Structure 1
Amino acid sequence: MFLQSLHLKQFRNYRDQAIEFSAPKTILLGENAQGKSNLLEAVELLATLKSHRTSRDRDLVKNDETIAQIQASLKKELGVSALQLTLRRGSRRTAMINGETLKRQQDFLGSLNAVQFSCLDLELVRGGPGTRRTWTDTLLMQLEPVYVHILQQYNQVLKQRNAFIKQHTADPDQPPPLDPTQLALWDAQLATLGTRVIRRRARMLQRLIPIAQSWHQAISNSAEQLEILYSPNVTIDSDDATEIQQAFLSQLQAKAMAEYYQRTTLVGPHRDDITFLINQTPARQYGSQGQQRTLVLALKLSELQLIEEVVGEPPLLLLDDVLAELDLNRQNQLLDTIQDRFQTLITTTHLGSFDAQWLKSSQILRVDQGQLLKA
C-alpha cells in the first residue's frame, strides 16, 4: 500500500496542510515542537483509530477550533481509497471511506495499516503490564478488525460486573451477601467474552514470537537469545474454548472472597502480561538500555512482517525520532531492512544518520511551525 496524499485541517498545529508523497521514503526535517510528530500521529489515527499520545479527541483539534479533519488518498492492490476522519471537541467523531459515512468506526480499521515506532516504545519493556496489553491489542485490531468489538464487549461486561460487586460491598463492616444467581450470570458472560480475548492474543503472539526471535538474533549478531512469554491471568493449557472457559470460571470461584473484599474483578485478560527474557533474564528489570532497544526494534520489525503476511500488502512504517535513540549498528539494521520495501515516514532534527543513497531516494520536507516546505 502507498499513501499518496494527506490533508490536515485544524489538526494539532496544522491549519490547512496538504502533502503529496512522491517517494517510498519521506524524511520530515525540523526542530522539536514544530509538528513532525503530529503528522505521523494523523497517519496512526487512520490506521488504528487511536493515538499513543492522547485518548481525547479534543486534544487533537487545533486551539480555538471545534472540528479537525484528516483526509488521505491510499493506493492498494485493489485500487485507490479516499479516507477521512472528522474529530470533534464536544461530540462523536465520524469516519468516511470513498465519501460514505460508516455506521461503525471499527469498519474503518484495515483500510490503512501502519506500524508506529517512537522513543516512547521503550515503555513496552520498561513499563507496566497495561502498556504491553495495549500494544498487543492495537496490533490485533489491525490484523483482525472484529477484535475491537470483542474487546469492547469484554470491557463493558467487566465494568458492569465491577459495579455489581461494589454495589453489594458498599459497607465493608456489614456487606449484604452477593446474589449468587446474578453473580453467576456476570461470571458466565465475563468468561465467554474473556476467552475470546485470550485465544486471539495467544494466537497472534504465537505467530509473532518466532518472527521477533529471528529479527532479534539478526540485530544482536546471534549473541543474545530472546524469549517472549504470554502470561495470561487465566491459566490455560490449550486453545480449546471450552477448557479456557472452565478454567476462567474455576478461578473466579477461587477468587470470590478476595474480590468480595477488594471490590473488583481479579480474574481475566484485563490482568494479562507479556514477559520478555534475554538470555533467560527478565529484560524489564535487568536488560541494559542497548538490550532493551534491540528488543523493541525486533518487535517493531516483527509487527511489520506479520501485518504484511496477514494483510498481503506491506504496511506503512512511521519512525518518530528513533534514530537518535539507536546506535550506529541498530540504525543500519533498521535502514537496511526498510530500503523501498515499506513506505516510510521518518522524523528527524538532522540528516546526519542517513547515507547519500538514502537521501537521494527520499522525499525531504522541512516542518516549521505547522507548515511543510521542500527542504
Structure 2
Amino acid sequence: MFLEHLYLQHFRNYIQQEINFTSNKIILLGDNAQGKSNILEAVEILSTLKSHRSTKDIELVYQDRLYGQIKASVKNKYADYDLAITIPAKGKKELKINQEKVNRHIDFLGILNTVTFSSLDIELVRGSPEYRRSWVDSLLIQLEPIYYQLLKNYNHILKQRNALLKQMKKSGISTIEQVPELKAIELKLWDNKLAEEGSRISRRRARVLKKIEPLAKFWHNQISHKTEKLILNYAPNVPWKKDTPTDVQNAIKSEIEQKKIAEINLGNTLVGPHRDEIEFIINSSLARNYGSQGQQRTLVLALKLAELQLIEQVVGQPPLLLLDDVMAELDLKRQAQLLDSLGDRFQTIITTTHLNYFETDLLNQAQIVKVEAGKLYF
C-alpha cells in the first residue's frame, strides 16, 4: 500500500497545498503548530472517516470557509484509487472514489489502511475507557468496514433511548408503575434494539482483542526482553457466558431490566458497550494504575506494532504508519526497536521538530518535507 499524492484545500491551516510522495519514509520537519499533524490527520480521515483529534467537522475546515477538501492517489495490491472527501462546515461529508460519488461509507472504507501512533497515545493506557474503546473501534473499522455502520446504528439507538429516559425523568417518573403504557412500549422497543446492536458491537470487540493479544504479547516480550507478562482483558459492561447473538442479547436485556429504575432516575443509559472497558495488565497489575511511564510507553509501542501486524494479516497488505511526534517520547532503545521493526514494508510518515532523532541511513533514504505555517517546502 503506497500513498502517492495528497492534496489539501481549506483543511485545518492549509489553504491549498499538495505533495507527491516519492519515498517509503517521509519526514515532515517543522516547529510545533505549523501543520505537520494536520497532514497525518488528513490521511487518517481518508482511512477511517474520522479523526482522533476532533469530533466536529467544522474544526477541520479552514477559518470561515464553507468546506474543506482532501484528495489522494493510492496504489495498493489490487488497484489504483483516487480518493476525495469534501468536508462541509455544516452537513454531511461527500465521498468520491475515482471521481464517482459514493453514498455508503462502507464502500469508501478499507481502501487505505493506516495505523496512527502519536504522543497522545499514552492515554491509551492511562486515559479514560472511552479512549481504549475508540482505539478498538478504529481498528475494527479497518478490518471490517461494516463495523462503521454498526457503530453508527448503535449510537443512534443510544441517543434516542437517552432522550426518552430524560423525558421520563423530567415528567417525574421514579418507579416502573408510573411509566405510561405508550412510554413503556416505546422504551421496550429501544431496549430490544440496544441489545441487538449492542451484541454486534461487543462480540466483535471481544473477537478482535483475542486476535491482537498474542501479537501484542510477542512485541511486548521483544521490547521488555521477556521481563514482563502482558494480558489484554476485555471487560464488557455486560458479561456473557456464550459468544452467541442470542446469549449476548439476553444478557444485555436482563441487565437493562435490573437497572431500568436507576436509568430513569438518571435519565441515562447505564447498560451497553458504550460503557465497556479494555484492561491492559502487566505482571498481574493494571498498567494504568501501577505501570511506570517506561512500562506504559513499552505497552503502547507493542500495541501499535501488533496493530500493524494484524491489519497486514487480515487485509493482505501492509498499512501506512503515521508517527506523530513520537520520537521525542521514546528513549533511544525504543526508537531503535520501532524503526528496526518497520523495515521497508510499511510506508511511514513521521512528524518531528528535529532531525537528530534519526540515524544517517534513514535520513539518506527519506523524503524530507519542511512544514511552515501551512505551507510545504521540498
The reply to whether TM is greater than 0.5 is yes
The one-character-per-residue Cα deviations of 1:67-104 (angstroms, maximum 9, x if unpaired) are 21111100011221000111111232201000001112
**Per-residue deviation at 1:174?**
6.8
Once the two structures are superposed, residues 226-257 of structure 1 have per-residue CA deviations (whole angstroms, 9 ceiling, x without a partner) of 11100001111221111111111111111122
- Further displaced range: 235-244 or 1-10: 235-244
Equivalents in 1 of 2:257, 2:312: separation in Å?
A: 42
Which of residues 222, 229, 244 is equivalent to 1:218?
A: 222
Q: For 1:112, what is the secondary structure of its paired residue? A: coil
Q: Kindly report which structure 2 residues correspond to 1:1-375, keeping only aligned pairs within 5 A, or say none.
A: 1-172=1-172, 176-177=178-179, 179=181, 180-374=184-378
Deviation at 1:220, TM superposition (A): 0.7
Task: Give 3-state SS (helix, strand or coil) of 1:317's partner.
Answer: strand
Give the conservation status (yes or no) of the 8 Å contact 2:173–2:179. no
- Work out whether residues 154 and 193 of structure 1, in 8 Å CA contact, stay in contact via their aligned partners in 2: yes
* Residues 315 and 173 (structure 1), Cα distance of their counterparts in 2 relative to 1, 3 Å cut: closer
Tell me, in whole angstroms, the C-alpha distance in 2 between the residues paired with 1:301 and 1:265.
35
One-letter amino acid matched to 2:32: N
In structure 1, runs of 5+ residues without a counterpart are none
CA 1:303/1:178 → structure 2, altered by over 3 Å: closer, same or farther? Answer: farther
SS in 2 for 1:78: coil
Question: Equivalents in 2 of 1:125, 1:32: separation in Å?
Answer: 25
1:133 and 1:337 mapped to 2: Cα distance?
Answer: 26
What is the root-mean-square deviation in Å for CA atoms of aligned residues?
Answer: 1.4
Specify the code of the residue in structure 1 equivalent to 2:62: K
- Tell me the secondary structure at the aligned position of residue 325 of structure 1: coil
Q: Is the 8 A contact 1:85 1:93 kept in 2?
A: yes
User: Taking structure 1 as reference, are residues 182 and 90 closer, same or farther at Cα in structure 2, changes over 3 Å only?
Assistant: closer
Displacement over 3 Å in runs of 4+? 171-176, 178-182
In structure 1, distance between residues paired with 2:192 and 2:37: 44
Q: Aligned equivalents of 2:186 and 2:69: distance in 1?
A: 45
Aligned residues: 374
Q: What is the distance in 2 between the residues matched to 1:291 and 1:66?
A: 45
**Alpha-carbon distance between aligned partners in 2 of 1:14 and 1:259, rounded to the nearest angstrom:** 45
Partner of 2:17, secondary structure, is: strand
Deviations 1:247-293 (A, max 9, x none): 11111111122223222221110110101111111110111111111
Q: In 2, Cα distance between the equivalents of 1:41 and 1:33?
A: 14
Unaligned runs of 5+ in 2: none
User: Which residue identity lines up with residue 240 of structure 1 in the other structure?
Assistant: T
Deviations 1:109-150 (A, max 9, x none): 111000111011111111111111111111111111101111
1-structure distance, mates of 2:114, 2:14: 21
- Structure 2 counterpart of 1:80, which letter? D
Q: SS in structure 2 opposite 1:69?
A: strand
- Please tell me whether the aligned partners of residues 165 and 178 of structure 1 are also in contact (alpha carbons under 8 angstroms): no
Moved more, 157-166 or 73-82: 157-166
Report the residue type matching 2:284 in the other structure. Answer: Q
Q: Is the 8 A contact 2:195 2:252 kept in 1?
A: yes
- The alignment's TM-score, normalised by the length of structure 2, stands at 0.96
Q: Is the 8 A contact 1:232 1:271 kept in 2?
A: yes
1:173 Cα deviation (Å)? 7.2
Query: Retained in 2: the 8 A contact 1:27–1:348?
Result: yes
TM-score, structure 1 normalization: 0.96
The aligned amino acid for 1:64 is D
